[in-house]
Amino acid sequence: MEIFPNNSTCLELTIAVPGFNSSQPFPSSGEISGGGAMKALDINQAPSGTEEECMEEEEEDDESPNNNNNGGPAPRKKLRLTKEQSRVLEETFIQNHTLNPKEKEALAVELKLKPRQVEVWFQNRRARSKMKLMEMEYEYLKKLSGTLTEQNRRLKKEVEELRALTVAPPHSRQPMPSSTITMCPCCERVTTTTALDKGPATSTSAAAATSAAKMSFLQQRQPSATCYN
């Protein structure tokens, strides 16, 4: 599973979620049209009989038992979409995360729902997708944080070892300034320039060998001498 593109500089995430095309996160339909009056509609209807049956009788729900309680606020009834309705909505969502008014209307007719219901379903579906994406993003960043912490720990240890190796014995040489060992934050290359160029300052051959090995290791880590970042 591909998480971040290598050159990503923002939190744009590309995660393959089953049934969800993340390469087109939330495309705007770009369509402006009427239809705002749908907001006031009460689309609740009384569930009578089976799930399937209750969906068959749309368009007459304004007189449903929900509204028969003498002027008081009608108790909200939970509508459950049928499996088939959910399947069609899901398939449509995979193709496009937003619907223009025509598509919404057509889908509503096909599913025997009201356009407002289709609209709400898509709103909630987008929200769920986003939440799932954010959860995955959170998990990824948590792992990344752990990895970087561990890497940081190792590099600090490495720097300490290098300092110990490159600092001369007390009587033979001045201690090396700490600024001579640096690490480029962008390419993670350790740069040791000043004193090391003059060769190992240790007096014993064993220490010299160790130092040479370290230098060899470092040179492997930094194939080019200069970082232009």
Partner DNA sequence: ATAAAACGAGACCTTACGTCA
Partner DNA sequence: CCTGACGTAAGGTCTCGTTTT
Residues that bind DNA (CB under 7 A): 26, 28-29, 31-36, 39, 41-44, 47, 75-81, 86, 98-99, 101, 116-117, 119-121, 123-128, 130
Nearer to DNA among residue 135 and residue 150 (C-beta): 135
Residues 6+ apart with CB under 8 A from 105: 115
Shortest distance, position 120 Cβ to DNA, whole Å: 4
**Cα 158-161-167 angle, rounded to 5 deg:** 135
Length of the chain: 229
How far apart are alpha carbons 132 and 141 in whole angstroms?
A: 14
Which parts of 30-114 fold into alpha helices (H)?
51-56, 83-95, 101-111
How far apart are alpha carbons 152 and 108 in whole angstroms?
A: 55
Shortest distance, position 57 Cβ to DNA, whole Å: 14
Nearer to DNA among residue 47 and residue 184 (C-beta): 47
Shortest distance, position 1 Cβ to DNA, whole Å: 21
Nearer to DNA among residue 33 and residue 182 (C-beta): 33
Residues 6+ apart with CB under 8 A from 167: 175, 176, 201
Shortest distance, position 4 Cβ to DNA, whole Å: 20
Shortest distance, position 83 Cβ to DNA, whole Å: 11
Nearer to DNA among residue 47 and residue 173 (C-beta): 47
Nearer to DNA among residue 125 and residue 173 (C-beta): 125
* 19 alpha-carbon distance from chain centroid: 16
